Amino acid sequence: MNPGAKGTGTNGPGARGPLGVAAIGYAFMGKAHSNAWRNVASFFDVPAIEQKVLVGRDAGQVADAAAKYGWAESATDWREVIARDDIHIVDICAPGWMHAEIAIAALEAGKHVLVEKPLANTLAEAEAMNAAAAAARTRGVQSMVGFNYRRVPALALARELIAEGRVGTVRHVRAAYLQDWLADEQAPMTWRLRKETAGSGALGDIASHAVDQVLFLLGGQVTEVTGRLQTFVNRRPGPDGPEDVTVDDAAWATLTLASGAIASVETSRVATGQKNSLRLEIYGDKGSIHFDLENLNELGFQDATAPAREQGLRRILVTEPDHPYLDAWWPQGHIIGWEHTFTHQIRDFLTAIQAGSQPSPSFEEGLNVQYILNAVEESAATKSALVHVADRTSKGA
Amino acid sequence: MNPGAKGTGTNGPGARGPLGVAAIGYAFMGKAHSNAWRNVASFFDVPAIEQKVLVGRDAGQVADAAAKYGWAESATDWREVIARDDIHIVDICAPGWMHAEIAIAALEAGKHVLVEKPLANTLAEAEAMNAAAAAARTRGVQSMVGFNYRRVPALALARELIAEGRVGTVRHVRAAYLQDWLADEQAPMTWRLRKETAGSGALGDIASHAVDQVLFLLGGQVTEVTGRLQTFVNRRPGPDGPEDVTVDDAAWATLTLASGAIASVETSRVATGQKNSLRLEIYGDKGSIHFDLENLNELGFQDATAPAREQGLRRILVTEPDHPYLDAWWPQGHIIGWEHTFTHQIRDFLTAIQAGSQPSPSFEEGLNVQYILNAVEESAATKSALVHVADRTSKGA
Amino acid sequence: MNPGAKGTGTNGPGARGPLGVAAIGYAFMGKAHSNAWRNVASFFDVPAIEQKVLVGRDAGQVADAAAKYGWAESATDWREVIARDDIHIVDICAPGWMHAEIAIAALEAGKHVLVEKPLANTLAEAEAMNAAAAAARTRGVQSMVGFNYRRVPALALARELIAEGRVGTVRHVRAAYLQDWLADEQAPMTWRLRKETAGSGALGDIASHAVDQVLFLLGGQVTEVTGRLQTFVNRRPGPDGPEDVTVDDAAWATLTLASGAIASVETSRVATGQKNSLRLEIYGDKGSIHFDLENLNELGFQDATAPAREQGLRRILVTEPDHPYLDAWWPQGHIIGWEHTFTHQIRDFLTAIQAGSQPSPSFEEGLNVQYILNAVEESAATKSALVHVADRTSKGA
Amino acid sequence: MNPGAKGTGTNGPGARGPLGVAAIGYAFMGKAHSNAWRNVASFFDVPAIEQKVLVGRDAGQVADAAAKYGWAESATDWREVIARDDIHIVDICAPGWMHAEIAIAALEAGKHVLVEKPLANTLAEAEAMNAAAAAARTRGVQSMVGFNYRRVPALALARELIAEGRVGTVRHVRAAYLQDWLADEQAPMTWRLRKETAGSGALGDIASHAVDQVLFLLGGQVTEVTGRLQTFVNRRPGPDGPEDVTVDDAAWATLTLASGAIASVETSRVATGQKNSLRLEIYGDKGSIHFDLENLNELGFQDATAPAREQGLRRILVTEPDHPYLDAWWPQGHIIGWEHTFTHQIRDFLTAIQAGSQPSPSFEEGLNVQYILNAVEESAATKSALVHVADRTSKGA
């Protein structure tokens, strides 16, 4: 049993004992999610959980990974695992094209589901998942999509400040997510660079986080968008010679919110020197907010209601007990790592399960991001002209 | 006579004595240009000049300004002034709607002309000015448009590094010019907020600098653009009640360069907390460049050919004798102010006059920026769809 | 058994099975060390370990802590625990005045010992511990003092760069450790503010880390020091009224190294706004190094052998696979938290145990820091005059 | 006549016409002072002045410099110049060993005197100058020492904030002035590296500014000090072979203020990568202040009375009309250069002359800095033991 487990959920599956967890996938995301499952109860009061099974395709590798990452068992057949009575939660860290099938099956089997973003590779899959989630919810089965950056303490604080009116009415947002792992034109071909397997490039992979942040921080709906996509390196070395890259290296979009605010979103995987830079700037009539994921323990805040003589962008080191999630960690000034965005995500997921409430972001919220990204692609395909999003979103509601 | 004047121009007007200068306009830009004329010869070897006349509409005010800013005389009729034999250079700091008439008259009168940006408020005027400049050039009469940020030492260094291949092939550029003097919705109506007088809003006023920098740093042509314009505060207090704001508060554009590079350009005068932040990020396959006008003595440079283990964005304090313009100033580490972008501009203007060569940026380059801004407005007026710039530019060539 | 444990130590206690670990103390440091024990094997290849027992004075609280932090059992009598055959490692997180008794007993019982810094509250205790460690070492029993900041990847990288000669001959170092939790004069009296219980104030608590870094980064010996101590708030509220503060709030020292380099060390717990700022600046004749613990994933490096025109302090984001410890973690640009300095410390401790080699920093190195801090206090007590350290250090060798 | 000159002084020399100015010295400081004289009236309302004479030893060079820097005439004999009736102000930019003779003669001749820092190379000279200044003051003749960094707008703002109690009671200050122009051990021997000509090294040259800032920002007296001096490069190449360096490359001091605050002062001319970094950190019980001369248009301010949740070090861009000196310059966000610390200094000097009041810093204040620096040297010569300053200062009062 997981150390420190205390509470017992009162709703949904597993109501009378520890919640058994199965995770599917043991690569980058599987490692990060496992770390969160292993540690969440050491820092937060959460319902009792057990790290039951890690699922993967290669029996030997998944057994090693399970041992290393704290899982009691490993398995290779996810269908068998979701059929088990002692599994109450399914955490899907497999690639995007597998999300729909596993998530729908798990929800139908009565398991709470956490699925990595993006919700799915296609709108049709995402809509089916959303429908399955809505149906499951009526039976007390919860679901959540893993936009983990909502759980960066600095961004949770940003949302609070904005909600409290500290920046006033938001006029515009500058969002960018910049990486550089494709800057080298000799970087090899991967499944992430093929439209069939990846859905899209930088847009779906990382700009999706930026779009989700716009929604998370400001609330409301995106009504229309413009978009541009660009592939700078069209062919990359494959095992048998050069192959065509069929997704975007970079993308540019503008989003109109129902409130009248406008957000620009820019993303690139060829932004040399930018390693994992999700940057957000929110400009309101009373203040502004600045953030960069490479310094995720800091938030910039300018209070424009202060006298001009002493105004300035202040660097808030988000490590105080008063800051979101921080009372669980270390004394002030002791920073936490990127991986704990997942720890916080699981804490909130478990807390919602315990309370019998819908965790956020829901599959519907994940679908909403998909609609927006789809509209960006549609705009890009039609000379970047404005595309309305509103009508389509209502379909998903 | 101006202190330190030494050389004597060998081409064009004023070839046999000090160059007499007249400046038209004594507001913000007039003050900045006057400062440059008053100081250029104290730091640089330039042809001999005399600060002859400052021209303005209000006789009393322009006389005061002339005394304060170092001009020998003041005057109210620019036509009389450009007719004077002892005036060889006309520096136009008047508002944009006056540029064409004065510049064309001055060029036809055989005076070298420096005109503040933007070249003109309308394309028709800008084209006429360009034609006049081309004609004058054949007679040894030079002309220049005042995109002064080309003379920020850090940006001149950036251009050198890019030209030397230190960032490799540029894939994309992020350009933004953000201010906040209109963030307060009670900020009063001014001529700058009416389309008739200002031409456009943030786009023409400050994004023009960002567009010029893209051209300055990368070279080449912009072939197509997308654009969005937004006015967040539609009515502002005038002397007799609320008045309509008819220009943009903010704008977003993407520019495609002939090289295949893409630049995003974003501008705002409601970006709370941003006082004068022209930011540039240039991403190439071998390195990147970063700049912010609020720290104009610094340049960020990442050399991606260094081993990953010791790579990082370096802050170059651009105050070394080896840096552009800096050997004229102070020892290393002693920063210079914003105003000396104008001092450098006049130094280069005078040096070109002396050499009988075309100063840069020429009216043609200024016209080119106008074409691009016009195309951005055209895109904004047609649902942000891509607009080709290339054909139209050829008209100006 | 701890997940992922693989290897088996071939030397010293526990040679034929997993190493049983007992930790003593469950407050701040106990929580941090427990986190490291719980996670080390999920990221690093280390000998097999088991989190056996957590020891504390309050039976109920320590039982809760043990459950929460991943320990199989809890206990209240450390003597009983170190007598157990299934315990091979004792990790001492108890306050400084208990270090000597526990550590010496554990070493004599044949247990490997990790002890939090400072080694002890008095020189006599520290010397006794060092003697016990030397004796134990001859029997293959290892010991280490927990200067965890040696395991900040950025500082490990700094040490490598310095050792490789990248900053040349070091002339001087600026070290500071600044916090502000005592800035409020109403902050209550605690045992940390009494000389009897704490030994010293900011000097021993945090400046000890700064002094250790000077030794870690530069190597060599400190031969003489100057010191000043200051208490700004002399009385603080206790439960029964104001009590005397008998330790320093702040301290200043200079250290002469045998190499001729000079380090300044400054520390404060009343440096308003500084939360946990251990700052280091190393100036050599070929380059310099900069670090701040509040941004512990970054290292500043200036290579002064580059042309002046393109020199600058570069911000190395220390998240590359080539950086110390980083290949175990996340992809580039994904930062790690403060707590993993302990994870790395335990990894290195276990690796040394496995190899039968002396972990570093040894008790002797810890004693060396104590000599230096003692000399600083001695200087402070004699009008800040220079005090030689060299002779006394030889006593501890 | 200088452009823009308006007022007429009502006290002291030159009361009935423009003030004639003579400057002595045309090297680095002469160039900087000349720039200030040439421009002050273009930005500030000051008494009418005329740039009459520039004095130097080499007739040809000083004539060129005079022409370049805006002086009507040049001369080689300062005694003749200070005897002229049309000279009312003498600005001494000559090396330190000439200060006393010129300043005393000028004051006795009834000229207002501005002298570059340090006041003099020896205490005896400084005391004589102070006596001459006191005597002259009774005759309405003013004097000032050029600690120009008191006129950095950000530091003037810092002083205001401290005086208003915004940082509360100051506990300690960290002051450092770091340069690197001697980092290269092959940098040649100069007069600045000989005790006979320079008085001291980094201590007198640049740490004097840091000490002056402590006094300027906090007010009050320094009562005792400790000091260390170090020369890292003992011999440097001279024209005829290696020569001995007889001044310090670096220095460390602590200053006790009468208020109980403690300031650490550190200085170096071998701090590789630091070009002109005068850094100040002031820690009070209600807030803190941060400054770096390499970014002189910015001030860091932390208001510790704000809720912890939104506290942070704010970067105030000191370019607002409400900031000291700034209403004379450019719109917000447009930075000014290092040289305008001198422009502001002359503005304040002229304003004080006009008002018949003592400009600050007075010779007495300059002497006070000398006493402190002398005590630092005395401490350094006696094993860094504390040296009392108070008694000696009273001699100078």
Q: Which chain D residue's Cα is nearest to C301?
A: D273
DSSP single-letter state for residue C204: I
Sheet hosting strand D73-75, strand order edge to edge: D73-75, D49-55, D19-24, D89-92, D112-116, D143-146
Residue C390 has pLDDT above 80, yes or no: no
Best interface-test mutation with D: which of A316, A323, A325, A327 has the largest number of D CBs within 10 A? A316
**How buried is residue D346: exposed, middle or buried, by Cβ count under 10 Å (0-12/13-18/19+)?**
buried
What strand order describes the sheet that includes B89-92?
Answer: B73-75, B49-55, B19-24, B89-92, B112-116, B143-146
End-to-end CA distance of chain B: 39
The model's pLDDT over D26-82, given as tens digits with 9 standing for 90+, comes to 999 999 999 999 999 999 999 999 999 999 999 999 999 999 999 999 999 999 999
Considering only CB atoms, C272 lies closest to which of D185, D302, D385, namely D302
Strands (DSSP E) contained in B205-276 are 222-230, 235-238, 241-244, 250-257, 262-268
Distance separating alpha carbons of residues C128 and C122, to the nearest angstrom:
10
pLDDT band at residue C1 using 50, 70 and 90 as cut-offs: very low
Neighbours of C215 (CB within 10 A): 21
Contact A171, A201 (CB under 8 A): no
Contact yes or no for B235/B245 (Cβ under 8 A) = yes
Minimum CA–CA partner of D321 in chain A: A309
- Tokens read off for D169: 């009671």
ipTM score for this prediction:
0.94
C349-364 residue pLDDT tens: 999 999 999 999 999 9
Strand (E) positions, chain B?
Answer: 19-24, 49-55, 73-75, 89-92, 112-116, 143-146, 170-178, 222-230, 235-238, 241-244, 250-257, 262-268, 277-284, 287-292, 298-303, 313-317, 387-388
Query: Taking a C-beta distance cutoff of 8 angstroms, is the pair B285, A185 a contact?
Result: yes
Q: Do B312 and C311 touch (CB under 8 A)?
A: no
Q: Say which DSSP state D205 is in.
A: I
Collect all residues of chain C within an 8 Å Cβ-Cβ radius of residue B303.
310
Partner residue facing A308 (CB), from D301, D307, D322: D322
Query: Under a CB-based contact definition with an 8 Å cutoff, are residues B249 and B230 in contact?
Result: yes
Q: What is the CA radius of gyration of chain C?
A: 21
Using CB atoms, which residue from D166, D310, D332 is nearest to A316? D310
Which among B299, B310, B322 has the least Cβ separation from residue C316? Answer: B310
Q: Please determine, for residue B12, whether its predicted confidence score (pLDDT) is greater than 90.
A: no
Pairing of strands B19-24, B89-92: parallel
User: What are the structure tokens assigned to A76, written together?
Assistant: 């290779």
pLDDT by residue for chain D (397 residues), tens only, comes to 333 333 333 445 545 689 999 999 999 999 999 999 999 999 999 999 999 999 999 999 999 999 999 999 999 999 999 999 999 999 999 999 999 999 999 999 999 999 999 999 999 999 999 999 999 999 999 999 999 999 999 999 999 999 999 999 999 999 999 999 999 999 999 999 999 889 899 999 999 999 999 999 999 999 999 999 999 999 999 999 999 999 999 999 999 999 999 999 999 999 999 999 999 999 999 999 999 999 999 999 999 999 999 999 999 999 999 999 999 999 999 999 999 999 999 999 999 999 999 999 999 999 999 999 999 999 999 999 999 996 544 444 3
Enclosing H/E stretch for C280: strand C277-284
Query: Hey, are the CB atoms on C254 and D254 less than 8 Å from each other?
Result: no
Min Cα–Cα distance to chain C from B315, Å: 5
pLDDT in tens, B86-103: 999 999 999 999 999 999
Kindly list the structural domains of chain C, giving each domain's residue range(s) and its CATH number in brackets, ordered by start: 19-149 (3.40.50.720), 153-295+297-336+362-387 (3.30.360.10)
Backbone angles phi, psi at B267, to 5 degrees: -145, 150
Of the candidates B67, B295, B317, which has its C-beta nearest D4's C-beta?
B67
Banded model confidence at residue B16, pLDDT cuts 50, 70, 90:
low
User: Within a 10 A sphere around the Cβ of D69, how many other Cβ atoms?
Assistant: 26
Residue A195 confidence (pLDDT): 93
- B267-281 pLDDT tens trace: 999 999 999 999 999
Closest chain B residue to the Cα of D46, Cα to Cα: B68
Chain B neighbors of A285, CB-CB under 8 A: 183-185, 270, 272
The nearest CA of chain A is from the CA of D254 a distance in Å of 27
Q: Do C260 and D232 touch (CB under 8 A)?
A: yes
Chain B residues within 8 A of C156 when measuring between CB atoms: none
Alpha-carbon distance of D138 to B340, in angstroms, equals 42
CA distances from C20 to B281, C91, C359, D111 (A): 54, 11, 18, 85
Asked if C296 lies within 8 A of A335 by C-beta distance, the reply is: yes
Chain A residues in contact with D302 by the CB 8 A cut-off are 314
Q: Dump pLDDT digits (tens) for D277-319.
A: 999 999 999 999 999 999 999 999 999 999 999 999 999 999 9
Give the separation between CA C372 and CA C220, rounded to whole angstroms. Answer: 13
Per the omega criterion (within 30 degrees of 0), is the bond before B18 cis? no
In this complex, the residue of C308, C310, C315 whose CB is nearest that of residue B312 is C315
**pTM for this structure?**
0.95
**d(C-alpha A62, C-alpha A60), whole Å:** 6
- CA-closest candidate to residue D162, choices D325, D344, D312, D301: D301
pLDDT digit string (tens) for B329-377?
Answer: 999 999 999 999 999 999 999 999 999 999 999 999 999 999 999 999 9
Q: Which residues of D touch A158 (CB under 8 A)?
A: none
Assigned token pair, B105: 């008259």
The residues pairing with D281 across neighbouring beta strands, listed in sequence order, are D174, D290
> Scanning the structure block, which residue is given the tokens 């020569």?
D243
Please state at what angle helix C28-43 crosses helix A28-43, rounded to 10 degrees. Answer: 160
Contacts of C230 in chain D (CB under 8 A): 172, 262
| Chains in contact with C via at least 3 Cβ–Cβ pairs below 8 Å | A, B, D
The two three-digit tokens of residue B180, written as one number = 């906040």
Number of cross-chain residue pairs from C and D with Cβ atoms under 8 Å apart:
130
Give the whole-angstrom CA distance, residue B143 versus residue B129. Answer: 10
Q: To probe the interface with D, which of C384, C386, C387, C388 has the most D CB atoms within 10 Å?
A: C384
User: D367: number of CA atoms within 13 Å, CB side?
Assistant: 24
CA distance C254 to C266: 9
> Could you say which DSSP state residue B272 is in?
T
Chain B residues touching residue A176 (CB < 8 angstroms): 174
Q: Decide: C272 and D302 in contact? Cβ < 8 Å.
A: yes
Residue C7 has pLDDT above 60, yes or no: no
Residue in A70, A179, A337 closest to C333 by CB: A179
Q: How far is B276 from chain D (nearest CA, A)?
A: 5
User: CA-to-CA distance for C325 and C154, rounded, in angstroms?
Assistant: 10
Instruction: From chain B, pick out residues whose CB is under 8 angstroms from the CB of C308.
Output: 320-322
- Cα–Cα distance between D7 and C250 in angstroms, integer? 51
Q: At what angle do helices C208-218 and C363-381 cross, to 10 degrees?
A: 120
Tell me the C-alpha to C-alpha distance, in Å, between residue D389 and each of D119, D205, D225, D291, D379.
18, 20, 7, 27, 11
CA distance A310 to chain D (A): 6
Q: Residue D167's CB: how many other CB atoms inside 10 A?
A: 27
pLDDT computed for residue A124 by the predictor? 95
Contact flag D384-C167 (C-beta cutoff 8 Å): no
Give DSSP secondary structure letters for C131-158. HHHHHHHTTT--EEEE-GGGG-HHHHHH
Residue A331 and residue C28: Cβ atoms within 8 Å?
Answer: yes
- pLDDT value for B197: 87
Residue D268 has its nearest CB partner, among C230, C283, C286, at C283
At C2 the pLDDT is: 38
Between strands C222-230 and C170-178, the pairing is: unpaired
- Cα–Cα distance, C7 to C47 (Å, whole number): 4
User: Which of B338, B343, B344, B347 to probe the D interface (max D CBs under 10 A)?
Assistant: B338
Q: Taking Cα atoms as reference points, which of D360, D355, D357, D359 lies closest to residue D10?
A: D355
Q: Is D235 helix (H, G, I), strand (E, B) or coil?
A: strand
pLDDT of residue D114: 98
CA distance D26 to B198: 46
